[in-house]
Amino acid sequence: MSLENMSLTNEIVQQKLAEKFGDQLGNFSEPYGMLTFEAPKELNLKVLQFLYDDETLKFRFLTDLQAVHYPNDKGRELAVVYHLHNLVDNVRIRFKVFTDINQPDVFTATQLFATANWMERETYDFYGVNFVGHPNLKRILNVDEMDYFPLRKEFPLEDQTRTDKDDEMFGRGGSIN
């Protein structure tokens, strides 16, 4: 059986990506079977476009897009995570771009996926990721007047005066601020 007829596997995806982008992509792993990798944030659109256009890969369904905040990872505090799905071969992948929290500019995927519009607005709303080129980047779930990004880790959920709700009680050894 030729490579084209074989069902798409994580190895093929990884190999294709390596052929196209060389060693610019990194940290390939497969947590719970889903191929996961990182790209430099300048490349996010190029990677998405390549995954979309390539006739073998066909990752044409954006399942989900969200951000994660890692306050202790200096220079790459915010991760924008894309979940893509190839519906033909039924393969899912996840890829991440990391950005500095002081300059959280990431290119928008709205030109490629109409669905990215609100997903990116939500991500902006909660993490302050500035999606460059987004047609309507404003808050979506929170009030417009809000001047902070509430899902960032520096905003504690509980009342700070309560010691019984300290992070220590949640297995994280003291405050994460």
Partner 1 sequence: MSEVQNILLPEGSIEKKTITLNLGPTHPATHGVFQNILEMDGERIKSSVSTVGYIHRAFEKLAERRPLFQITPITDRLNYCSSPLNNIGWHLTAEKLLGIKTPKRVDYLRIIIMELARIADHLICNSIIGVDTGAFSGFVYLMEFRELIYEIYEEICGSRLTTNIGRIGGFERNFSATAWEKLDRFLKEYPAALQEFENLFTRNRIFMDRTIGCGPISAERALNYGFTGPNLRAAGVDYDVRVHTPYSSYDDFDFIVPVGTTGDVYDRFLVRNVEMWQSLSLIEQAYQKIQNMKGEEAEVYHANVPEYYLPKKEDVYTSMEALIWHFKIIMGEIEMPKGEVYSSIEAANGELGFYFISDGGRTPYRLHFRRPCFIYYQAFEELVKGSMLSDAIVVMSSLNLIAGELDA
Sign of the alpha-carbon torsion through 100, 104, 110, 115: positive
Give the nearest distance from C-beta 163 to partner 1 in angstroms: 14
The total of other beta-carbon atoms located within 10 Å of residue 145's CB is: 6
In the list 83, 128, 130, 133, the residue contacting partner 1 (rule: CB under 8 A) is 83
Give the nearest distance from C-beta 140 to partner 1 in angstroms: 6
* 94 binds partner 1, rule: CB under 8 A: yes
Alpha-carbon Rg for the chain, nearest whole angstrom, is 18
Give the nearest distance from C-beta 85 to partner 1 in angstroms: 9
Q: Which residue has tokens 């109409």? A: 114
- Which residues have CB under 8 Å from 119's CB, separation 6+? 62, 64, 65, 66
What pairs with residue 36 in β-bridges? 29, 94
* 174 binds partner 1, rule: CB under 8 A: no
The per-residue DSSP string of 14-27 comes to: HHHHHHHHGGGSEE
Q: Indicate the residue among 12 and 68 with the shorter CB distance to partner 1.
A: 68
In the list 40, 50, 118, 133, the residue contacting partner 1 (rule: CB under 8 A) is 118
Which residues make up the interface to partner 1 (CB under 8 A)? 31-32, 34, 36, 60-64, 66, 68-69, 81, 83, 87, 90, 92, 94, 113-115, 117-119, 122, 126, 139-143, 150-151, 155, 157-158, 165, 169-172
